[in-house]
A and B are shown apart, each in its own frame.
Chain A
Amino acid sequence: MSAPDQWPLWEVFVRSKNGLSHKHSGSLHAPDADMALKNARDVYTRRSEGTSIWVVLSSNIVASAPDAKEVLFAPSDDKVYRHPTFYEIPDEVGHM
């Protein structure tokens, strides 16, 4: 029997409830998008975990490099004025 080439890897994203965004659940191999969706349903939503599934070919995902973490994300650490708690509002003003 000839072994077919290994099926591509798909990343599975599940939306848990209407209103929430899709969240990564895991991955699986499947020959095409339809099978990937069917398998994702069987593997990742057996206990009412989802109302919607996305499957994306892993090879189509572009990721930031782990060693770029400092360069990309450190600059936001010293910009506390981007957070509402940075600003002092007198109690008399009430909730804002």
Chain B
Amino acid sequence: MLPEANWITRAPSLRSKLILLAKVQDEAGHGLYLYSSAETLGTSRDEMIADLHSGKAKYSSIFNYPTLSWADMGAIGWLVDGAAIQNQVMLCRASYGPYSRAMVRICKEESFHQRQGYEIMLHLAKGTQEQKDMAQDALNRWWWPSLMMFGPSDDNSPNSAQSMAWRIKRKSNDELRQEFVDKTVPQAKFLGLSIPDADLRWNEALGQHDFGSIDWNEFFAVVAGNGPCNSERIEARRKAHAEGAWVREAASAYAAKQAARRSSDSKANPQAA
């Protein structure tokens, strides 16, 4: 099981469990849309899965942090999916058709994820002191990793120039990060929670928020595979793939058997074929 999947069986109500299951199903679909889009460039699904399992392929740094309480399901939906949407809305206008079309579909679905996350935070923030503390703790832990999701700052992002030149990205990492901060600060205020950044303040002259500096050492360590849950996550992925092998083999065997039966039927009775 992937680390956050713990919370499916521990959801506080049947309603929240159904919602979480629907979200997980969406996320699996998003993986599939993106793999399909990458395949149009000539790589195979099997190669990409193998690259993920061997550690060759990178994935978002955010997936390497642990989910310690139910409030994390709220913070992830609100902040992590929120940061993802900020990026993906821009990618809907990317120059590569298969990618931008996948993004349009993804954005429609992610919007539900962010709102359900915010709803969880809202319930906790308006609940008992203990629940409010849980929500604050989740915000404290997810805030900085969410800001890191936009990638390195513009002066230290080797891939950005290429992506901008090809018009895959239309906005820089720092522009997107700023938009996300400006959008999220009032949402946190409404919850009555405080963002864990002593340097966060409104800059009247610029019409945007100033915020503290990001710990890039942490970011690069997580990307390099040394985050809190990197090995756990990839191990869970490998295990799921290995344990699902019999299902894939059975489906292939069944398809082969049905095909053989159809072809022998049509030989025995050519008119019906």
Task: List chain A positions with a Cβ less than 8 A from chain B.
Answer: 1-7, 9, 26-29, 31-32, 35, 42-43, 46-47
Contact = CB atoms under 8 A, between A and B. Distances in A.
Contacts of B220: none
Contacts of A4: 248-249, 252
A46 B252 contact: no
22 contacts: A1-B245, A1-B249, A2-B249, A7-B252, A9-B39, A26-B33, A26-B102, A26-B105, A27-B36, A27-B39, A29-B45, A31-B251, A31-B252, A31-B254, A32-B251, A32-B254, A32-B255, A35-B251, A42-B25, A46-B22, A47-B108, A47-B109
B111 to A, nearest CB: 11
B45 A46 contact: no
B115 to A, nearest CB: 14
B44 interface: yes
B46 A3 contact: yes
B36 A26 contact: yes
Q: Which of B36, B44, B259 has the most CB of A within 10 A?
A: B36
B94 to A, nearest CB: 16
Contacts of B25: 42, 46
A57 to B, nearest CB: 12
B212 interface: no
Q: Which 9 A-B pairs have the closest CB atoms?
A: A31-B255, A32-B255, A4-B252, A31-B251, A1-B245, A27-B36, A6-B46, A31-B252, A43-B29
A29 B44 CA distance: 11
Q: Which of B33, B252, B255 has the most CB of A within 10 A?
A: B255
Interface in B100-124: 101-102, 105, 108-109
A31 B259 CA distance: 11
Contacts of A3: 46, 245
Interface residues of B, number: 26
B26 A46 contact: yes
B95 to A, nearest CB: 15
Q: Which of A1, A6, A26 has the most CB of B within 10 A?
A: A26
B45 A6 contact: yes
A45 to B, nearest CB: 11
A47 B25 CA distance: 12
Nearest to A9: B39
B255 A35 contact: yes
B272 interface: no
Nearest to A4: B252
Contacts of A43: 29, 32
Given A1-B245, A6-B44, A7-B252, 10 more contacts: A3-B245, A4-B248, A5-B252, A26-B36, A26-B101, A27-B39, A31-B252, A32-B251, A46-B25, A47-B108
A46 B108 CA distance: 12
Interface in B122-165: none
B244 to A, nearest CB: 10
B254 A1 contact: no
A15 B27 CA distance: 23
Contacts of B45: 6, 29
